[in-house]
Structure 1
Amino acid sequence: MHDSSCVFCKIIQGLLPSSIVKENEHVITIKNIDPKAPIHYLIMPKKHLVDISAFSDKDSDLGWAILKMARDLANDEIGGFVGFNLIANNGKSAGQSVMHMHFHFIAGKNIYSGGLML
């Protein structure tokens, strides 16, 4: 299921170019076009879901696929970096700029060194 106006759906369908890092049946990971760290990827479901609130019990396999993708990226992609951040901005007021659920996979920089505290 895709949304014809969604830029991420267009990337998933191959209608827009992107640097694909990894993909499987349910999830795709692309390089962020405006990275905030040496490694800054976007993990997203191939199914169009606006945000986490659109996630239903029927999507539980999709939730596992996203976490598995993050684990695989950590094992395969981050090299000598010790840790990573997995962040979802859920809704416009939280900074979500593309209304297709996605997670920022960030490694190679301590994002908290700039004063951000969670």
Structure 2
Amino acid sequence: MAGEPQADCLFCKIVSGEVPATVVRETETTVAFRDINPQAPTHVLVIPKAHYKDAAALAAASPELLADVLREAAEVAAEDKVDATGYRIVFNTGSGAGQTVFHAHAHVLGGRGLQWPPG
């Protein structure tokens, strides 16, 4: 069921504390933690505590929770002092787009030049 923790989900295990992570922010509805394979000096994942398979499912089921994720992404950027120089918020949706953990999450990237298109 959407929103319910999934036993086989890495990010649900981070939310529950079963798997450690370098948490930088936590609210009632979200957790933000450093990516274990950073692609920029600031690379933080912001996830909803509730499980949704991807950003599209989260947006459809709980737009207010998606807004919480985006608000926290901005707070992460401010705390890491990349808000003035610019940062990127990326949601990969589906394996073809590079999503490897199927729990909605935003990547907050900053602290270096981020050309477009990425890669």
Question: Shared topology, TM-score over 0.5?
Answer: yes
1:109 offset after TM fit, Å?
1.3
Q: Specify every segment of 5 or more residues in structure 2 that has no aligned partner in the other structure, as ranges.
A: none
Distance in 2, matches of 1:79 and 1:53, equals 27
Contact map agreement 1:81 1:107 (CA 8 A) in 2? no
Calculate the TM-score normalised by the size of structure 2: 0.88
Distance in 2, matches of 1:108 and 1:67, equals 18
Query: In the alignment, what sits opposite 2:106?
Result: 103
Query: In the alignment, what sits opposite 1:35?
Result: 38
Q: Which amino acid aligns with 2:94?
A: G
2:67 to 49, 64, 68: 64
Query: In the alignment, what sits opposite 2:117?
Result: 117
1:56 offset after TM fit, Å?
5.0
Distance 1:80 1:50, change over 3 A: closer
Q: How does 1:2-13 map to 2 (within 5 A)?
A: 2-13=5-16
1:78 offset after TM fit, Å?
2.2
Contact map agreement 1:88 1:103 (CA 8 A) in 2? yes
Distance in 2, matches of 1:80 and 1:102, equals 19
Residues 38-80 of structure 1: per-residue CA shift (max 9 Å, x gap): 1100011000000122125551220110111012122222258
Query: In the alignment, what sits opposite 1:22?
Result: 25
Calculate the TM-score normalised by the size of structure 1: 0.89
Which consecutive segments of 4 or more residues in structure 1 shift more than 3 A? none
Q: Which amino acid aligns with 1:117?
A: P
Q: Specify every segment of 5 or more residues in structure 1 that has no aligned partner in the other structure, as ranges.
A: none
How many pairs are equivalent? Answer: 115
Distance in 1, matches of 2:29 and 2:112, equals 28
